[in-house]
A and B are shown apart, each in its own frame.
Chain A
Amino acid sequence: MRRGVTIVLLLLSGLVLPSFAQDPPSATDEAQEWLQRVVVAPRQHNYIGTFVYSSGGHMETSRIVHMVNSEGESERIEVLDGSPREVIRNNDEVRCYFPERNTVVTEKRGLRKFFPALLPEPLSKLNDNYIVKKGGKERISDRECQVIVLESRDNMRYSQKLWVDISTGLLLKAAVMDKGQVVEQFVFTQLEIDGDIDEKLLEPKYLTKSSKFHVTKLVSSKMGKGELGWQVENLPPGFMKVTEVKRSLSGESTPVGHISLSDGLAAVSVFIEPAEKSGSQPIQKSFPRQGAINIYTRTVGGNMVTTIGEVPPATVMQIGNSVVNHKVNWTK
């Protein structure tokens, strides 16, 4: 009898095991819906709050005012610790003020996003590289949140954990995880949702009549496929090229090549610039991680190739090491 049971168990385990070995399950529809809510929530709700960014031993507090009306979204973020910084966003027009340097950086059609609007669009590409899972419920900033985990399918990228406000869909906390360790996180410490917003709170604090700011415009010229003459040949699995542009800031004659890559969630940028003539010996160097961002620099021919991304160091290096040039005079 016992032998019979053992045989049955063996057979069963034989049936069960292969199903584990198959591809991990894709996102449950429900978890996917939560992500969709996170994307649209900032377009539907006013909010005023304070959030904290932390990574390693570093912590920084910011205040955010976000208003939605018939004209779209307006937002003001002020960093309260360290050197003052302020971001004013009106839909896709973004201005970043750095008052200590009398500098403002402007973008007309910026894709730039800020916490709590952290998720990329479209969300569909995310499934190939991350398993979207619904976790438990936790309380953040006195509000009940649903935890959603974006678990990386391999070690080429970090996992992420999101805490989504159940009643509005706003992201109240977000953490980048490396094998269970928090690499960096954003969290609201205080938040008021759907209150009336005084428009004065959206006005830049540092732009006064007496102050004069240098304006730096971030501009780029889109390139056709392969036009730049630079390519990343050995992309880590799951990464795709998003854009290829030549950037030249007004007044600067030498352009900088910029290839941006994405795995549906994490972004990596590759910058190519002619190296300075002095010190022509080959350089290969990784820089200390800043939050989730890793940086790797290497010379290719007479050019400096810098790879920046919120991915593990090995991924940044793999990308940086497979950048090749097909065009000698690419700056022309």
Chain B
Amino acid sequence: MKNKVSELMDGELDDVDIADTITHIKKKEELLNDWDIYHLIGDTLRHSAAVSIDIASQVSKRLDKEPTVLAPRPKTEHKVKIFAFSVAASMVTAVAAVVWMSAQTTDRPLVESITDNSALQATVKVDSPVISASIPTLAQETITDKSVPQTTVQAEPAIVSAPLSTTAQINDYFLLVHGEFSPRAVMRGVSPPYIHQVAEPDKRVAR
């Protein structure tokens, strides 16, 4: 029956078998568990890392450390546009900056920047050459930018999201397996990261 569950998951059963297998799964808790486990494993093996291992945690750690510039959202209904900019810094570190700003109200922009020397990649979207030219400075000096009303902290803080590179992904399960040969991999300060990426356990199992 376990094979059937697996085949069902892979879409390899015909209609009769599907109905039959589902009935079995409903009846037997063990099979239901298998179903969940297969999905857990499948998720792990397949999309491993929309957010790959270390990058996500590093970014969030960095974000925690970054001084947050809180600015009020514009009251008028200006569209908040997201400008993401990646500065390949030839001199010091690679600076990836995500710039949030209100396009029209330049006197009260909503600005956030994060810097990270990891392989953080951000998409570049620039509307006008003027803004394009000003971004590198903006990215590095946002905190001191006088046009930002830094002191006003209001009910709605700005939230920063960092677009991450999803081009290269790691199957996180590998780290766990590698731990078989390296005494360090499991207890090395991050739980096998793949665990973080697997979907939340199903409620049916947790009941």
Chain A residues packing against B (C-beta within 8 Å): 53-55, 58-60, 62, 77, 79, 82-83, 85, 87, 96, 98, 100-103, 105, 107, 110-115, 117-118, 184, 212, 214-216, 218, 242, 247, 249-254, 256, 258, 260, 262, 266-267, 269, 271, 273, 276, 279, 283-288, 290-293, 295, 297, 304, 306, 308-310
Q: Which of A59, A83, A114, A279 contacts B191 (CB 8 A)?
A: A83
Q: Contact between B45 and A112 (Cβ–Cβ < 8 Å)?
A: no
- Kindly identify, within residues 10 to 58 of chain B, every residue whose CB is under 8 Å from any CB belonging to chain A: 10, 33-34, 36-38, 40-42, 44-46, 52-55, 58
Select from chain A the residue with minimum beta-carbon distance to B182.
Answer: A267
Interface centre among A55, A114, A184, A290 (most CB of B within 10 A): A290
Bound: A254/B10 CA distance, A: 11
Q: Contact between B118 and A288 (Cβ–Cβ < 8 Å)?
A: yes
Q: Does B177 contact A (CB under 8 A)?
A: yes
Select from chain A the residue with minimum beta-carbon distance to B199.
Answer: A101
Q: Contact between B183 and A113 (Cβ–Cβ < 8 Å)?
A: yes
Bound: A1/B119 CA distance, A: 67
Complex contacts, A247 vs chain B, CB 8 Å: 177
Q: Contact between B6 and A250 (Cβ–Cβ < 8 Å)?
A: yes
Complex contacts, A96 vs chain B, CB 8 Å: 186, 192
Complex contacts, B171 vs chain A, CB 8 Å: 256, 271, 273, 304, 306
Smallest CB–CB gap between A306 and chain B, Å? 6
CB-based closest 10 A-B pairs: A251-B38, A267-B181, A285-B168, A113-B183, A269-B178, A102-B201, A249-B41, A251-B6, A267-B182, A60-B189
Complex contacts, A218 vs chain B, CB 8 Å: 176-177, 180
8 A-B pairs with CB atoms under 8 Å apart are: A103-B198, A115-B183, A118-B183, A214-B205, A218-B180, A283-B168, A287-B53, A293-B188
Select from chain B the residue with minimum beta-carbon distance to A100.
Answer: B195
Q: Which of B54, B177, B192, B196 contacts A269 (CB 8 A)?
A: B177
Q: Contact between B183 and A117 (Cβ–Cβ < 8 Å)?
A: yes
Q: Contact between B53 and A114 (Cβ–Cβ < 8 Å)?
A: no
Smallest CB–CB gap between A140 and chain B, Å? 19
Smallest CB–CB gap between A296 and chain B, Å? 10
Complex contacts, B58 vs chain A, CB 8 Å: 288
Q: Does B184 contact A (CB under 8 A)?
A: yes
Complex contacts, B33 vs chain A, CB 8 Å: 212, 214-215
Q: Contact between B187 and A115 (Cβ–Cβ < 8 Å)?
A: yes
Bound: A150/B54 CA distance, A: 29
Complex contacts, B174 vs chain A, CB 8 Å: 269, 271, 306, 308
Knowing A212-B206, A216-B41, A252-B41, the reply to whether A293 touches B176 (Cβ < 8 A) is: no
Complex contacts, B206 vs chain A, CB 8 Å: 102, 212
Q: Contact between B40 and A79 (Cβ–Cβ < 8 Å)?
A: no
Smallest CB–CB gap between A15 and chain B, Å? 44
A-B contact sample (9 more), CB < 8 A, given A249-B41, A249-B173: A87-B187, A112-B180, A115-B184, A212-B205, A216-B37, A247-B177, A251-B41, A283-B167, A291-B189
Complex contacts, B198 vs chain A, CB 8 Å: 101, 103
Q: Contact between B52 and A287 (Cβ–Cβ < 8 Å)?
A: yes
Q: Contact between B170 and A103 (Cβ–Cβ < 8 Å)?
A: no
Complex contacts, B191 vs chain A, CB 8 Å: 79, 82-83, 85, 98
Bound: A54/B58 CA distance, A: 16
Complex contacts, B184 vs chain A, CB 8 Å: 115, 118, 184, 291-293, 310
Select from chain B the residue with minimum beta-carbon distance to A289.
Answer: B54
Select from chain A the residue with minimum beta-carbon distance to B29.
Answer: A212
Smallest CB–CB gap between B130 and chain A, Å? 34
Q: Contact between B175 and A308 (Cβ–Cβ < 8 Å)?
A: yes
Q: Contact between A107 and B45 (Cβ–Cβ < 8 Å)?
A: no
Select from chain B the residue with minimum beta-carbon distance to A220.
Answer: B177
Q: Which of A87, A103, A111, A304 contacts B40 (CB 8 A)?
A: A103
Bound: A309/B180 CA distance, A: 12
Bound: A220/B42 CA distance, A: 16
Q: Which of B44, B46, B180 contacts A111 (CB 8 A)?
A: B180
Smallest CB–CB gap between B90 and chain A, Å? 19
Q: Contact between B175 and A55 (Cβ–Cβ < 8 Å)?
A: no
Q: Contact between B170 and A287 (Cβ–Cβ < 8 Å)?
A: yes
Bound: A111/B178 CA distance, A: 11
Complex contacts, B185 vs chain A, CB 8 Å: 293
